[in-house]
Structure 1
Amino acid sequence: METMSDWQNIKISGIASIRKCVGEFEVGELIKTPYSKFIVKVFEGSEGDFTGYTNLLVKDKDGTPYPGIGRGFNVEETLRNTILNFLEMLDMKEIWHEDDFEIADPFDF
C-alpha cells in the first residue's frame, strides 16, 4: 500500500528534485504593503525540508525583486519564518510605494 510520502521516493533520470506544495496562506498586512495582503506558499522537499515564499516581491535599489523566504522543520515554523523574513525586508526602508513591489507571476509562484 502506498503512503502519502511515496512521492519523496520517486527517482527519474534528468529530474533534479520534486517538491510538494503543502500549504498556501493569505496574510493580511496593513502598514507597509500597498495591497493589504500577500500569499505565502510552503513547499516540502523530498528530504523532508520545508521552504516558504511570498508572492509579493520587494525590489532592491537596483530594481531586482526578491520574495520573503523562510525555512523550517514543519509547515507552521516555515510559515512564521517566511513572514518574519518578509517583515525584516520591509524594515529596511521607512516609506514604501507601490512601485517598490512586484507580484510574482502565478505560473512562477
Structure 2
Amino acid sequence: MIGGGKMSDWKNIKIDGIARIEKCVGEFQIWELRKTPYGKFKVKIFERIDGSFAGFTNIRLKSIEDGSPESGVGFGISISEALEDTLNNFMEMLNQRKELSEDDFEWSHPDDF
C-alpha cells in the first residue's frame, strides 16, 4: 500500500522469508570525551513489532579475549528508556577497562548505521 494507512501498519506486514521488521525511530549523537576516540558516537533506536524498543551504538569495543567487537545494546518500553539502557550498558563496558586506545574500538560501516 502506498500512502494512506496508519503509522503502525508496518507491524502487520507478513512476507515469506522475512523474519522480522524493526522501525528506526531515533538516532542520537552522543558526546563522550574521556574514553572513546573522536569524542562522539551515535545510538540508533528501533521499535519492534511488540512495541518495545532496542538501541545500538555505532562504536563497538573489542573483546580482550578474542578481539570480537561488542556493541552497546539496550532495551526499554520507550525510546528514552532504550537510549538510557544502551548508554548505561556501553559505559559499563568502557569502565571495566583501565586503559583504552583507538585500537580497542571498531566503528560500524556508515552504510550499516
Please state which band the TM-score falls in when normalised by the shorter chain. Answer: over 0.9
Within 1, Cα distance between the matches of 2:50 and 2:110? 26
Matched, 1:33 2:36: yes
Q: What is the CA deviation profile of residues 45-82 of structure 1, one whole-angstrom value per residue up to 9, with x for unaligned ones?
A: 11112100000100011111011000000101000100
Once residues 36 and 99 of structure 2 are traced to their aligned partners in structure 1, the CA distance between those partners, rounded to angstroms, is 10
CA distance in 2, matches of 1:44, 1:53: 12
* TM-score between both structures, scaled by the size of structure 2: 0.93
What SS does the corresponding residue of 1:102 show, helix, strand or coil? strand
Match of 1:43 in 2: 46
CA distance in 1, matches of 2:103, 2:16: 42
Matches for 1:27-106 after TM superposition, within 5 Å? 27-61=30-64, 62-106=66-110
Sequence identity, in percent?
A: 53
Residue deviations 1:12-69 (CA, integer Å, cap 9, x gap):
1111110000000000000111110000000011111210000010001111101100
Q: How many residues align?
A: 109
User: Hey, what does 1:12 align to over in structure 2?
Assistant: 15
Mapped partners of 1:46, 1:21: distance in 2? 12
Q: TM-score, normalised by structure 1?
A: 0.96
TM-superposed deviation, 1:8: 0.5
Code of the residue aligned with 2:97 in structure 1: it is K
| Structure 2: runs of 5 or more not aligned | none
3-state SS in 2 of match to 1:70: strand
Unpaired segments ≥5 residues, structure 1: none
Deviation at 1:106, TM superposition (A): 2.1
**In angstroms, what is the RMSD of aligned CA positions?**
0.9
- SS of 2:85 mapped into structure 1: helix
